[in-house]
């Protein structure tokens, strides 16, 4: 009989007792050093992102807090603050960012090695959570961000809290007199985000009030809380299924530098997708299949792309059934549960087909950006042409969509034959990332907690590659390219995906100690 995913109590009793009692759990010198050094590097990131050469979206942090500005002035070279992106110094600043990103990833990997399964050391949960809070402090007060999406989030929330408008039906540019509108880039777009996120953003905006900085602080603080909550869920999933991996997996997600940068630093709402994906895994551990379906639909009501997880989940449920009659019953329940969950979650901001039309008409659905498809058009199909040729290109849509469907069906077949659920979800996400025409590093956040529960292995290595790639991508953005280092911009898709692609095909045996435990998470039928 094929297995589906996890079974509660799959770990040994000794490992479970260790995870629960904390026997042998202490903060060793190496782990403490990794946490302390990472905290210093996040503060160094705060200082580095003052540089004008990065062309960041400003947050007004240093205006709001003069004492913080005075401290950063004392620690920041004048050349970093004054050099523009057109100068030779801009490339130097990019290399400094590269070194910082690589150092953060290196410290994260060192911490994972310290608590590796099969090793002698573990750590209590509180000593994992406390460093996350310390890492988050400089990220909350960053003077600049690589993305300005937070301002769009804030305005959608403001539309609900202040004006009682439905962002799915109304675009921000309908509120011309609002002082926050000047900070929004996508003024003409009604929301392509789902009602679960919009309702939360409405609540955050209601709490934050009218002041711009208070809104930024509220949203970023909320992202830190969501990240901590997701970290707790990852720990609970592993404690209840594979306790020997609890510390390793919790640090894999909780201390992940790309996740922290994109969620707390830039306040992207993909952390909510990650949270619901983790809750779905927890429900599966306890064989609560309808709850798992609800959580996947909740993730889809943040970003619809999370629906790619649903077929694998339904197959997992069917795979636990012993008879054709039981499978038919589970199929009906899963279909009805999915529809009812989606409708119930959509009802508070019901817009009929408008949400799906907004997704269809969104630039993310029509244009190529930061993907290999973008690179293929500019460097192979239309070399030397205006970059907008690639951005507005649709010639490859049929090819990439057919290719994605083919790979997706293969992954479903592979799963039905006995592959593990979390592992399959990671590969489904990775396939989506590779075949999407429009791609940004924060999309990777949704895959990281799922990879964390897989344990050391190929899926986790792909996630580690996405972590590094998601950080170094910012060497090549924004447009136009740095005159001193144009290759960063031209090959930013390579920067983003190459580490994960190399690790996806690299022999696992060369990268994993023979003492490392890499068990499956079986849920027996």
| Cα 247 to Cα 135: distance, rounded to the nearest angstrom | 18
* Separation in Å, CA 402 to CA 233, 278, 405, 435: 35, 29, 5, 10
* Separation in Å, CA 417 to CA 2, 173, 524: 7, 51, 14
* Separation in Å, CA 59 to CA 71, 219, 523: 17, 12, 47
Q: What pLDDT is attached to residue 511?
A: 40
Give Cβ neighbours of residue 142 (< 8 Å, ≥ 6 apart): 45, 46, 49, 59, 61, 265
CB 183 within 8 A of CB 289: no
| Cα 154 to Cα 167: distance, rounded to the nearest angstrom | 11
Q: What pLDDT is attached to residue 358?
A: 97
Q: Residue 261, Cβ neighbours under 10 Å: how many? A: 27
Low-confidence ranges of the chain (pLDDT < 70): 1-27, 388-390, 508-525
Q: Write down the residue that tokens 């042409």 correspond to.
A: 385
pLDDT in tens, 247-282: 999 999 999 999 999 999 999 999 999 999 999 999
* Separation in Å, CA 71 to CA 49, 62, 100: 15, 10, 20
* Separation in Å, CA 277 to CA 203, 292, 331, 426, 427: 22, 9, 21, 11, 14
Beta bridge partners of residue 25, listed in sequence order: 122
| Cα 173 to Cα 186: distance, rounded to the nearest angstrom | 9
Closest among 185, 196, 190 to 150, alpha carbons compared: 185
CB 174 within 8 A of CB 335: no
Burial class from Cβ neighbours inside 10 Å (0-12, 13-18, 19+) for residue 223 reads buried
| Cα 166 to Cα 191: distance, rounded to the nearest angstrom | 9
Closest among 309, 292, 235, 232 to 523, alpha carbons compared: 292
Q: What pLDDT is attached to residue 16?
A: 45
First and final C-alpha spacing in the chain: 7
Give Cβ neighbours of residue 113 (< 8 Å, ≥ 6 apart): 119
Q: What pLDDT is attached to residue 12?
A: 42
* Separation in Å, CA 150 to CA 191, 222, 257, 421, 476: 13, 12, 19, 33, 21
Buried residues in 147-168 as b, exposed as e (16+ CB within 10 A): bbbbbbbbbbbbbbbbeebbbb
Q: Look up residue 56 and give its DSSP letter.
A: P
| Cα 452 to Cα 12: distance, rounded to the nearest angstrom | 19
| Cα 474 to Cα 189: distance, rounded to the nearest angstrom | 25
Q: What pLDDT is attached to residue 122?
A: 77
């Amino acid at each position: 009989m094929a297995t589906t995913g996890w079974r509660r109590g799959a770990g040994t009793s000794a490992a479970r007792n260790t995870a629960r009692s904390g026997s042998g759990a202490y903060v060793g010198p190496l782990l403490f050093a990794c946490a302390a050094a990472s905290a210093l590097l996040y503060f160094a990131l705060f200082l580095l992102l003052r540089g004008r050469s990065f062309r960041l979206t400003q947050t007004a942090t240093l205006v709001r807090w003069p004492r913080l500005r005075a401290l950063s002035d004392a620690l920041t070279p004048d050349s970093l603050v004054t050099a523009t992106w057109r100068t030779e110094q801009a490339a130097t600043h990019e290399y400094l960012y590269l070194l910082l990103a690589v150092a953060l990833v290196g410290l994260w990997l060192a911490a994972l090695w310290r608590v590796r399964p099969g090793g002698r050391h573990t750590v209590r949960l509180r000593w994992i959570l406390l460093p996350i809070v310390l890492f988050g402090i400089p990220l909350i007060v960053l003077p600049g961000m690589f993305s300005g999406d937070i301002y769009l989030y804030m305005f959608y929330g403001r539309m609900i809290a202040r004006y009682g408008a439905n962002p799915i039906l109304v675009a921000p540019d309908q509120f011309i007199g609002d002082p926050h509108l000047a900070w929004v880039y996508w003024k003409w777009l009604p929301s392509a985000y789902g009602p679960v996120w919009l309702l939360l953003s409405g609540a955050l905006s209601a709490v934050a009030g009218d002041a711009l900085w208070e809104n930024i602080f509220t949203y970023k603080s909320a992202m830190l809380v969501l990240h901590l909550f997701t970290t707790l869920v990852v720990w609970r999933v592993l404690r209840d299924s594979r306790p020997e991996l609890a510390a390793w997996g919790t640090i894999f997600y909780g201390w992940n530098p790309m996740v922290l940068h994109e969620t707390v630093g830039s306040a992207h709402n993909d952390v909510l997708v990650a949270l619901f994906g983790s809750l779905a895994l927890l429900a599966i551990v306890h064989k609560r299949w309808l709850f798992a379906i609800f959580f996947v639909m909740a993730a889809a009501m943040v970003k619809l792309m999370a629906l790619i997880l649903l077929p694998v989940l339904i197959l997992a449920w069917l795979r636990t059934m012993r008879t054709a009659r039981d499978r038919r019953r589970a199929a009906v329940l899963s279909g009805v549960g999915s529809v009812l969950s989606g409708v119930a979650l959509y009802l508070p901001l019901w817009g009929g087909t408008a949400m799906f039309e907004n997704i269809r008409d969104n630039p993310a659905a029509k244009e190529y950006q930061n993907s290999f498809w973008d690179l293929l058009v500019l460097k192979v199909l239309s070399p030397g042409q205006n970059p907008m040729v690639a951005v507005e290109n649709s010639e490859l849509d049929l090819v990439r969509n057919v290719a994605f469907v083919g790979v997706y069906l293969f992954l479903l077949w592979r799963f039905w034959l006995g592959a593990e659920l979390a592992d399959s979800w990671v590969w489904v996400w990775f396939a989506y990332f590779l075949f999407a025409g429009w791609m940004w590093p924060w999309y990777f956040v949704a895959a990281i907690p799922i990879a964390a529960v897989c344990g050391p292995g190929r899926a986790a290595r792909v996630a580690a590659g996405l972590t590094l790639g998601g950080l170094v991508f910012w060497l090549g953005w924004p447009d136009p390219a740095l005159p001193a280092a144009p290759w960063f911009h031209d090959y930013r898709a390579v920067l983003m995906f190459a580490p994960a692609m190399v690790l996806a095909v690299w022999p696992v045996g060369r990268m994993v100690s023979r003492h490392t435990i890499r068990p499956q998470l079986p849920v027996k039928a």
